[in-house]
A = this chain, B = another copy of it.
Amino acid sequence: MPLFRVVAEHPESEARLGVLSTPHGEVKTPAFVAVATRGTVKAASADDVWALGVQILIGNTYHLILRPGAETVEALGGLHGFSGWDGPWMTDSGGFQVFSLGAGKVHGVGKIASIFPGEAVPKPTGPSLVRLTEDGARFRSIVDGSWVFFSPEEVIRYQRLLGADIILPLDECTSPFHSRAYTEAAMERTHRWAERALRAFEETQGLGPNPGQVLYGIVQGGAYEDLRRRSARVIAGLGFPGFAIGGSLGKSKEDMLHVIEWTVDELPKERPRHLLGIGTVEDILEAVRRGIDTFDCAAPTRMARNGTLLSAREEGFRLNIKNARFRRDEGPIEEGCDCPTCQRHSRAFLHHLFRCGELSYFRLATLHNLRFMARLMAAIRGRIAAGKPLDAASVMEDLGRT
């Protein structure tokens, strides 16, 4: 069974319908990968997310090796046995934490800066908890403050023990405020780390609970066209069976879309492409049209916990359940939604639970937002299969009919 098959190509864009085959089942693409950093989707159970039509989860190597430890997860049957989610798993490498606990803090910024012209550069949010060398990254543990060392080799060994179906090499995710020179040097280092990761991957064949693991390559290069194209060619040339687009995606949504276009343009068509950490409705539609197959993003579940609920029927595809106008609103979050929350509960009840800080709120909101993402991706796949336009209005109309 090949890792990836393209089933249909969209006539009007680079979008494609595909099937990703893993040792723990197939994933119909384009697909949203639900974030389960520590082995669980926040506020929901494995049973829950399975019933919602979630196809694949992504855990985080950095968080899981701190707690409960890679050896413990392995002893419990790997992520699949440990978590109770026996479907496909990905794990992120810890490369994003090189950024989020390092330059992201010092630069006070996320993966996309979204700075308006003339606006001040953001302030640091704290000192860097990361020390980078050619060998790898030393992290200050967020659990107990001790230092942990991540080399490209160790990160592969950890992920062998964790046993996800799709794993990622250690990379350096740069900041939108890094200079071109720094971004290029970091990219070159990421390429050297990719080669070391591939070697380690071969040398650890047979280690851990999941011999069918595949290792994707990560493309870096910031928002510089020549760097992105060069990185995509180098990483593809190393023979990875699939690819992730990581790192700084620039200072605006436009920058991000360019980064995707340059990268996809250089990658072999028959291999799967994952966009790391992106997941708003608008971004997913734009990225699918540019040839992205899978996405992971904490936003839908985090937004749920903060009171932002997704709906095809609202402006910006979201509503804020905190809003006083929902106090006596007997309707479901989203008319026509088939999630368990919308089947049983009103906006008024969710508004009440949110205001009281009731724990049951977090799950009910999370179930809705994850089901929304599953419905969104199903609508997108349906439109690709039918060769219909992938504009937001049309996709949302299909969503309203699910």
A-side residues, CB < 8 A to B, are 38-47, 67-68, 72, 75-77, 81-84, 305, 327-328, 330, 340, 344-346, 348-349, 351-353, 355-356, 358-360, 362-364
For residue A84, which residues in chain B have a CB less than 8 angstroms away from its CB? Answer: 344-346, 349
Closest to A348 in B: B76
New A-B contacts (20) at CB < 8 Å, excluding given A45-B364, A46-B345, A359-B363? A38-B353, A39-B353, A40-B353, A40-B360, A42-B359, A42-B360, A44-B360, A45-B340, A45-B344, A45-B345, A45-B363, A46-B344, A67-B356, A68-B355, A76-B328, A77-B330, A82-B349, A84-B344, A359-B359, A359-B362
Minimum CB–CB distance from A66 to chain B (whole Å) comes to 10
Min CB–CB distance A24 → chain B (angstroms): 15
- Tell me the bound Cα distance from A32 to B2 in angstroms: 54
For A72, the closest partner residue in chain B by CB is B328
| Partner among B344, B345, B346, B352 whose Cβ is within 8 Å of the Cβ of A38 | B352
Number of identical protomers: 2
| Contact, CB under 8 Å: B41 / A330 | no
Report whether A360 and B67 are in contact in the complex, using a CB–CB cutoff of 8 Å. Answer: no
Interface contact B47-A346, CB-CB below 8 Å: no
- A76 surroundings in chain B (CB, below 8 A): 328, 330, 346, 348-349
- In the complex the two chains form, is B39's CB within 8 Å of A349's CB? yes
Specify which chain B residues have a CB less than 8 angstroms from the CB of A330 in the assembled complex: 76-77, 81
| Given the contacts A45-B364, A76-B328, A344-B46, A39 and B83 also touching, CB distance less than 8 Å | no
Please tell me if the beta carbons of A360 and B45 are within 8 angstroms of each other in the complex: yes
Q: Is the CB of B47 within 8 A of A355?
A: no
Interface residue from B41, B45, B345, B352 paired with A68 (Cβ < 8 Å)? B352
Q: Which residues of chain B are within 8 angstroms of A349 by Cβ–Cβ distance?
A: 39, 76, 82-84
Q: How far is the CA of A356 from the CA of B40 in the complex (A)?
A: 11
Q: A67-B352, A327-B68, A328-B75 are in contact. Are A43 and B359 (CB under 8 A)?
A: yes
Beyond A45-B360, A328-B75, A360-B45, whether A82 also contacts B348 by CB under 8 A is yes
Q: Which residue of B lies closest to A82 (CB)?
A: B349
Considering the chains assembled together, what is the distance between the CA atoms of A38 and B359 in angstroms? 11
CB proximity of A82 to chain B, nearest CB, Å: 6
Mind listing 28 A-B residue pairs with CB under 8 Å? A38-B353, A38-B356, A38-B358, A39-B349, A39-B353, A40-B353, A40-B358, A40-B360, A43-B359, A43-B363, A45-B345, A45-B360, A45-B364, A47-B340, A47-B344, A67-B352, A67-B356, A68-B351, A72-B328, A75-B328, A76-B328, A76-B346, A76-B349, A83-B349, A84-B344, A359-B359, A359-B362, A363-B363
